Amino acid sequence: MPRLSALDMPDVPKAQLPPHLEQQRTRVSCKSDAPLHTEGIQYSGAYASMGVDNSLRLDSFSKNFRVEVVRLTEDEIEFDMIGIDASLANAFRRILIAELPTMAIEKVLIANNTSVVQDEVLAQRLGLIPIEADPRLFEYVSENDTAHEKNTIVFKLDVRCKKDDGRIKAKSSELKWLPGGSELQMASTNSNPSTNPNAKPKTYTSFNCRQDSLPEFSHKPLRPKYGDITIAVLGAGQAIDLEVHAVKGVGRTHAKWSPVATAWYRMLPEVVLTQEVEDGKAEELVSKCPVNVFDIEDIGEGRKKAVVARPRACTLCRECIREKHWEECVDLRRVRDHFIFTIESTGALPPEVLFTEAVKILEQKCERIIAELS
Amino acid sequence: MAVPDEDDTSKRIPSPVSMKSLAAPVKSAVDKYQLLPEFLKVRGLVKQHLDSFNYFINCEIKKIIHAKDNERIVSDINPKIYLKFLDIYVESPSVEEDHIREPLIPQRCRLSDTTYAAPVKVDIEYTRGNPIQTEIKKGHVIANMPIMLRSRRCVLYGMDDDELARLGECPLDPGGYFIVKGTEKVLMIQEQLSKNRIIIDTDKKGRVSASVTSSTHERKSKTVIVMEKERIYLQLNQFTKLIPIMVIMKAMGMESDQEVVQMVGRDPRYSGLLLPSIQECASERIYTQYQALEFLEKKVVKSRFTNQKVHQGDFYPKCIYVGVMLRRMLEAILNADTIDDKDYVGNKRLELSGQLISLLFEDLFKTMSSAAKKSIDEALTKASRSSSMDISLHLKKDWITHGLERAISTGNWDVKRFKMNRKGMTQVVSRLSFIAALGHMTRIQPQFEKSRKVSGPRALQPSQWGMLCPCDTPEGEACGLVKNLALMTHVTTDEEESPLITLCYSLGVEDMSLLSAEELHSVNSYLVMFNGLILGKHRLPQRFANGMRKLRRAGKIGEFVSVFVNEKQRCVYLASDGGRVCRPLVIADKGVSRIKEHHMKELRDGARVFDDFLREGLIEYLDVNEENNALIALYEGEADSKTTHIEIEPFTILGVCAGLIPYPHHNQSPRNTYQLCRMDTLLYLLVYPQRPLLTTKSIELVGYDKLGAGQNATVAVMSYSGYDIEDAIVMNKSSLDRGFGRCIVMKKVSAVKQAYDRIIMPKMSSGKGGLDSHMQILDTDGIASPGEIVRPLDILINKQSATVSRDQLISHKVLPDSAYKFTPVKHKGTEGETTVVDRVALFTDKDQNMVIKFMIRHTRRPEVGDKFSSRHGQKGVCGTIVQQEDFPFSERGICPDLIMNPHGFPSRMTIGKMIELLGGKAGVSCGRFHYGSAFGEPSGHADRVEVIRYHRVSSPSVYIHGTYLLPKAKTYGLRLGEMERDCLIAYGASMLIFERLMISSDPFKAQVCRKCGLLGYYHHSLKTGFCSMCKSGENVSTMKLPYACKLLFQELQAMNIVPRLQLTEH
């Protein structure tokens, strides 16, 4: 009898995992009680005994990695990211939410507020208004910095409800851009008024030039992204007169700087009928699904069977496998390296730009680490 | 094969139906819900207070002055000089300033710390001058009476929303409280035992007694008949000792023993029980009325008792009354079941603000009259009378004004005549939230001491159904004693008695005075009692009762008159007195509801109001006693031929506060109760209040949806980060950034500018050219201006006080600056809080000093450690605040506002909350508000009643082995619980724990085997411990441990868990 190595099994195909292991490696399966195999296998030698290399290689990654844009509107993008690990997909999501800078109102100088909305509440509301300004054109304001045209946008809000107007709404469209900087004068200027009576009165900003004279803003005035956001409701005789200063910041400090309403991803659902589901059962299955994943197909002779028509719509509510024995027919899985990524922009930057910016930030971070390590 | 087929189809067909419709209560054919808003429209939520106060203002107050003793003030010195009150009336609130009366509005009173009061005017007839001539004076002011808001006399009465808003009133505010010296005070509803009713009870010594508390305008007394050593005695305050009952009977003219026995009833068992008393009387040699009166003479004071009226010295009715009392008592001795339940709601009366004020007013009126009389007499005795005397000037209005004001503002009700001395009758209206204020108005205070550790009154009474809220009661010492009215409860006011009595007689009641003692208890007739008074008897009680009810339904007599046939006591009870709780029910004839669909349609179309239902006899009010004669179906579908009434809506058994909880019937009942106490969170003024997505019908009825006091949060139920143990919640920082949970805390600062003070402009200090850093918020008038940010120690009022004496102040018109000392009002706040002056109010107080009030506002966002609560008594502190990117998100990208730990659910059993979460999500998804009213849809289990019992568990909680009880009193012991144990450990008082849990609890000597660690036993023949596992007594030691501990070990062993003790020498 020839001596055979235990690893040398001719009936086991080389460099290929048996289907159940392959499924375990690439899919998360969702059972009616809980999902199974949620953790990916990172160890490169996990399948070495079977001659399968589990390591992640740059060349194979760049060969397999794909991005497919599914939907792109003015403020929303949905795209598929295929061939990437969850950790990286999540890194993008985190950067999008917390680390991508935007411009948001940080300072509110209230000259007059006789509305019922309290000053601090009004300020908080103003802060959340998204501003259509490319944050890449601005600098961060550091601690001892003065406000200048490169780091601050100034708006003015002056609404007044006349005595016989009934009630009016102060909308965000009434925020007027002041390209020349603040118009409010500092109170303590009278300390030495005699020195230079002709000098410009000191205001809360020190702009060197008007912002609209700069080429990047001249063609497009800065304004709130949406004009129909209610800031306050004014009753008869009430008025609001204030000035706001928007600066650059990131979502980690305050949610108002977050460029996205939200950014999230989900793994591609995969719905597999492991058995033929026919006739009455098929109709039952179709009616079970609240998002219409299944369709009915005629297979002749008046018989019908269920097919998976729209697996992408599946929300993994597991309604179809909740009842007994259904789990044997329907297998719900998610593809481990296929992410359906959605970004909802608040408007400062278009969503596709947001993602590329996020990639840049990740790149910078990586470079920083490499620099630190070397 | 055919058989299973059939089976299959029969199974399949009902399955889609059965899930919902079979388990659901059969939906009533007519949706009567619409009645509820109609009911509340006519009645309001605090109608009980308003009704009672209106009754006082309109009727009671007139009765008081027309009472015999009150009507005239006659001088003792010259009886010809007198003053007679002809009429009294209360005007609408006004204030007198510089002898000009101007109307008063409530908001002004709140701001200027004055009382919202109206002048009480009288028309008087009096004598004056010399020679004496009578004069009539109209509109003489005798008092300024605090007026209840929204009552008939209030300026707000009948105003619409716009007018109310113009006067600075919230249109949703229910009224029903007083404003005294600027604070809003609500007179708590007082719960009392019925007056003028026979109550059979056992006293402390276990003696059976029958007692009557008589109460009229003139007198209040308590009569007790008690059995002691087999003899029956009467106890009355006027007598020093117990009086044998037979002596009393004889004194009242019932000399024949036979008559007494007849009066009690001829049953030999009764006479057997009476015999010792008769013997005692005979042994005292009292046979005649004269002898009896002589006997009583020695025991002091006159013998007036029970509320039966005496006409021209005819004591016969009183005799009958005593007879009936005796009979009831003897019956109770023979059969303990007939003892009255003191906690039964039918034996309770609720005293409302009107009654309480009237009590006080009468007393003060009498004081005023006697003071006036005294001063008249004094004036008459003075020999030299230059001017002719005007008696009306002797009526000083301060007596009543101050008396009422003091009583309401302190809550102390002192009426000396009745030896009444009650405290805590009023409370400041809690304005933490709208619902707290509303709940305050419906709260009922008990008369008992709160600290009493009794379980009886605390337990939930079946008779509370529909009248008092089963959920809303505080925790702790007042648990079960302080109650709340249910949504549809009405509290009656007094009704005129005499027409009703006449009516009874014409309906065939045989007058008692015409009956002999023998006839009184004849087999085929029932006694008729009216408000505790024996009217007589009736041979056809059922017919009589039905006749009365028909009259009531026809509106011929008051709708709140109750007719109750008590078959056990063979009595028909009629009641028209005030303070009874009652509620409306739909009348059904043989189980068929009288309200038909067309009625409801008319209601919806506005062609019909609630009172029409009442007038047409579709709905009637039943009080607790009369409910005993009714068979009330919960739903129309459940009614059968015996049903007499149908509930309007089942969720009306809950009160105002409990109605806010969605799905309360799915929760463990204590949770609902906890929720009701939970209204104490920090939220004073929420920045973004929201309507709950899941409303209840009560919420809409109360108007809570217009005054939101909460926010709808996206909640993830999962355990996350470990900062969520023990009910802590994890919050999303981005949600907080966006305004979730933000609230405004208002603080009031007020200061008085005395006459010698002055407020000056902030001075520019010459140095740096600016103001003092703490003076920056001051306006030019020296007072901080609204909208300014205040920091701690900032000056709010730049005030200076004169240091010179009063004389100089008057003599010198202008004082030099040096005479003033700087006495600023500074803001006291904590560093780091941004506070803002919200409002500044200036007004003059009653001493004509300027008062400056600041409202200081502080907007705060939730921080770690802030407390949050859902509507199910699930509170939790914020454990940590987490960035949004670290938060979990759903398949649809939804990121929750907060995460709560799922461990909060199993032990709390708040299924209702889970359903609320689901219902809320459904509401968001389809963009509609959903209902989560109580009993709105089928609920699972019938074990709710048990759970309620558990909540109000009697405090003497004796476990199998009384371990955790403090030794003082086994029965009333308090548990040294886990928390207390923790405290003691933390304090380091471990020996105290040892003492509490072992020495003074249940020490036990156990035999423990050192080898196997198990418990052994003491072998009596070997005289040593013995281990039955090792079959030896060698390694057995004796040790002390609590018996409970030993029991636990053995119980564990019984469950196949082996606890082994390892002993070491110490």
Q: Give pLDDT tens digits for A317-345.
A: 888 888 888 888 888 999 988 999 999 99
Among B744, B787, B894, the residue with its CB nearest the CB of A113 is B787
CB contact under 8 A, A124 and B742: yes
Mean pLDDT of chain B: 76
What is the Cα–Cα distance from B782 to B759, expressed in whole angstroms? 6
CB contact under 8 A, B738 and A255: yes
B95 inside domain: no
Q: Are residues B849 and B908 in the same domain?
A: no
pLDDT at B22 exceeding the cut of 90: no
pLDDT recorded at residue B946: 30
Q: What is the count of structural domains for chain B?
A: 6
Among A98, A125, A254, the residue with its CB nearest the CB of B885 is A98
Main-chain phi, psi angles of B826, to 5 degrees: -105, 155
B199 inside domain: no
B1059 inside domain: yes
Q: Name the helix (H) or strand (E) containing A19.
A: helix A19-26
Which residue on chain B is closest to A312 by alpha carbon? B891
What is the Cα–Cα distance from B532 to B199, expressed in whole angstroms? 11
pLDDT recorded at residue B941: 36
What's A307's DSSP letter? E
Among B744, B770, B891, the residue with its CB nearest the CB of A118 is B744
B54 inside domain: no
pLDDT recorded at residue B24: 47
What's B1016's DSSP letter? -
Q: Which amino acid is at B121?
A: K
Q: Are residues B503 and B596 in the same domain?
A: yes
Q: Are residues B504 and B598 in the same domain?
A: yes
Q: Between B966 and B401, where is the model more confident? A: B401
Q: Between B678 and B564, where is the model more confident? A: B564
Out of B306, B322, B353, a domain closes at B306
pLDDT recorded at residue B966: 38
B552 inside domain: yes
Domain A22-100+258-374 in CATH: superfamily? RNA polymerase, RBP11-like subunit (3.30.1360.10)
Q: Are residues B773 and B916 in the same domain?
A: no
Residue % of chain A over a pLDDT of 90: 30
CB contact under 8 A, B893 and A264: yes
CB contact under 8 A, A94 and B889: no
Among B687, B737, B859, the residue with its CB nearest the CB of A255 is B737
Q: Which of A96, A118, A240, A334 to mutate to test the interface with B (most CBs of B within 10 A)?
A: A118
pLDDT recorded at residue B776: 75
Identify the CA nearest to B723 among candidates B879, B504, B836: B879
How many CB atoms sit inside 10 A of residue B285's CB? 8
B249 inside domain: yes
pLDDT recorded at residue B955: 34
Query: What value does the mean pLDDT take over residues B753-775?
Result: 65
Tokens of B448: 């008992």
Long-range contacts of B891-894 (CB under 8 A, 24+ apart): B891/A266, B891/A315, B891/A316, B892/A315, B893/A262, B893/A263, B893/A264, B893/A342, B893/A344, B894/A262, B894/B714
pLDDT recorded at residue B949: 30
pLDDT at B959 exceeding the cut of 50: no
Which neighbouring-strand residues pair with A273?
Answer: A330
What is the Cα–Cα distance from A240 to A225, expressed in whole angstroms? 21
pLDDT recorded at residue B314: 65
pLDDT at B347 exceeding the cut of 70: yes
Q: Is the peptide bond before B131 cis (omega within 30 degrees of 0)?
A: yes
- pLDDT tens, position by position, B976-997: 666 777 778 888 888 887 877 7
Residue % of chain B over a pLDDT of 90: 0
Among A128, A188, A264, the residue with its CB nearest the CB of B889 is A264
- pLDDT tens, position by position, A365-374: 999 999 999 8
Cβ proximity of B849 and B824 under 8 Å: no
Cβ proximity of B400 and B120 under 8 Å: yes
Would strands B189-193 and B443-445 be described as parallel, antiparallel, or unpaired?
A: parallel
CB contact under 8 A, A190 and B891: no
- pLDDT tens, position by position, B39-49: 777 766 778 88
CB contacts, 8 Å: A124 with chain B:
687, 739, 742
CB contact under 8 A, B884 and A264: no
Q: Are residues B239 and B268 in the same domain?
A: yes
| Neighbouring residues of B276: CB distance < 8 A, sequence distance ≥ 6 | B229, B230, B231
Q: Are residues B645 and B504 in the same domain?
A: yes
Query: What value does the mean pLDDT take over residues B181-209?
Result: 82
* CATH number of the structural domain A102-187+203-257: 2.170.120.12
CB contact under 8 A, B884 and A254: no
CB contacts, 8 Å: A113 with chain B:
787
- CA R_g for chain B: 36
What's B58's DSSP letter? I
Main-chain phi, psi angles of B978, to 5 degrees: -60, -45
What's A207's DSSP letter? -
Which neighbouring-strand residues pair with B486?
Answer: B655
pLDDT recorded at residue B520: 75
DSSP character string of B964-998: TB-SS-STT--B--HHHHHHHHHHT-HHHHHIIII
Burial class (CB in 10 A: 0-12, 13-18, 19+), B642: exposed
What is the Cα–Cα distance from B945 to B958, expressed in whole angstroms? 21
CB contacts, 8 Å: A128 with chain B:
738-739
What is the Cα–Cα distance from B502 to B497, expressed in whole angstroms? 9
Instruction: State the smallest CA–CA distance between residue B910 and chain A in angstroms.
Output: 23
What is the Cα–Cα distance from A156 to A109, expressed in whole angstroms? 9
Q: How many CA atoms lie within 13 A of B360 on its CB side?
A: 28
Cβ proximity of B751 and B799 under 8 Å: yes
Q: How many CA atoms lie within 13 A of B656 on its CB side?
A: 24
Q: Phi-psi category of B170—alpha, beta or left, where left has phi over 0 and alpha has psi -120 to 50?
A: beta
Among A128, A256, A342, the residue with its CB nearest the CB of B893 is A342
Q: Strand, coil or helix: what is B273?
A: helix
CB contact under 8 A, B836 and A113: no
Among B859, B883, B894, the residue with its CB nearest the CB of A121 is B859
Identify the CA nearest to B225 among candidates B201, B190, B251, B258: B201
Sheet holding A176-177, edge to edge: A102-113, A239-249, A153-160, A176-177
Candidate ranges A2-16, A120-134, B316-330, B459-473; pick with highest mean pLDDT: A120-134
Give the dihedral sign, CA B704/B708/B713/B719.
negative
Q: Are residues B581 and B704 in the same domain?
A: no
Q: Strand, coil or helix: what is B678?
A: coil
Instruction: State the smallest CA–CA distance between residue A22 and chain B in angstroms.
Output: 25
pLDDT at B8 exceeding the cut of 70: no
Q: Name the helix (H) or strand (E) containing B675.
A: helix B669-677
What is the Cα–Cα distance from B483 to B443, expressed in whole angstroms? 6
Among A118, A251, A255, the residue with its CB nearest the CB of B857 is A118
CB contact under 8 A, A94 and B885: yes
Query: What value does the mean pLDDT take over residues B746-755?
Result: 79
Q: Are residues B508 and B625 in the same domain?
A: yes
Q: Are residues B678 and B583 in the same domain?
A: no
| Neighbouring residues of B212: CB distance < 8 A, sequence distance ≥ 6 | B196, B197, B198, B199, B222, B223, B305, B306, B307, B325, B532
CB contacts, 8 Å: A240 with chain B:
none
Instruction: State the smallest CA–CA distance between residue A4 and chain B in angstroms.
Output: 50
Identify the CA nearest to B45 among candidates B537, B441, B352: B441
B65 inside domain: no
What is the Cα–Cα distance from B367 to B357, expressed in whole angstroms? 15
Out of B618, B653, B688, a domain closes at B653
CB contact under 8 A, A128 and B739: yes
Q: Strand, coil or helix: what is A138?
A: coil
Tokens of B368: 């005023």
Q: Are residues B828 and B902 in the same domain?
A: no
Candidate ranges B323-332, B656-665, B948-957, B960-969; pick with highest mean pLDDT: B323-332
Instruction: State the smallest CA–CA distance between residue B408 and chain A in angstroms.
Output: 35
How many CB atoms sit inside 10 A of residue B309's CB? 10
Would strands B571-575 and B581-589 be described as parallel, antiparallel, or unpaired?
A: unpaired
Identify the CA nearest to B122 among candidates B136, B139, B137, B134: B139
Cβ proximity of A295 and A320 under 8 Å: no
pLDDT at A69 exceeding the cut of 90: yes
pLDDT at B7 exceeding the cut of 70: no
Would strands B490-491 and B581-589 be described as parallel, antiparallel, or unpaired?
A: antiparallel
Interface residues on B facing A, Cβ-Cβ cutoff 8 A: 687, 733-735, 737-739, 742, 744, 769-770, 787, 834, 836, 838, 857, 859, 883-885, 889, 891-895
| Neighbouring residues of B1064: CB distance < 8 A, sequence distance ≥ 6 | none
Minimum mean pLDDT range among A246-250, B535-539, B746-750: B746-750
Out of B306, B340, B355, a domain closes at B306
B702 inside domain: yes
pLDDT at B971 exceeding the cut of 60: no
Query: What value does the mean pLDDT take over residues B503-524?
Result: 80
Identify the CA nearest to B359 among candidates B704, B44, B652, B61: B61
Instruction: State the smallest CA–CA distance between residue A98 and chain B in angstroms.
Output: 7
Minimum mean pLDDT range among A218-232, B904-918, B1052-1066: B904-918
Q: What CATH number corresponds to the domain at position B270?
A: 3.90.1110.10
Angle between helices A351-373 and A86-94 (to 10 degrees): 110
Minimum mean pLDDT range among A82-91, B879-888, B931-940, B955-964: B955-964
Identify the CA nearest to B863 among candidates B751, B740, B761: B740
What are the boundaries of each domain within chain A?
A: 22-100+258-374, 102-187+203-257
Minimum mean pLDDT range among B29-43, B395-409, B843-857: B29-43
ipTM score of the complex?
Answer: 0.87
Residue A350 CA: distances (Å) to CA of A94, A153, A261, A346, A356: 18, 20, 12, 9, 10
Q: Are residues B503 and B634 in the same domain?
A: yes
pLDDT recorded at residue B957: 34
Residue B13 CA: distances (Å) to CA of A280, A286, B9: 15, 20, 6
Q: Name the helix (H) or strand (E) containing A114.
A: none
Minimum mean pLDDT range among A94-103, A297-306, B183-192, B965-974: B965-974
- In which domain, by residue range, is B990 found? 956-997
- pLDDT tens, position by position, B667-704: 554 454 444 333 333 334 555 566 665 666 666 666 65
Q: Which of B19, B777, B885, B897 to mutate to test the interface with A (most CBs of A within 10 A)?
A: B885
Q: Are residues B823 and B854 in the same domain?
A: yes
CB contact under 8 A, A266 and B891: yes
Cβ proximity of A80 and A70 under 8 Å: yes
Tell me the pLDDT band of B943, cut-offs 50, 70 and 90. very low
Cβ proximity of B623 and B581 under 8 Å: yes
Minimum mean pLDDT range among B233-247, B787-801, B1040-1054: B233-247
What's B429's DSSP letter? P
pLDDT recorded at residue A351: 92
Cβ proximity of A276 and A256 under 8 Å: no
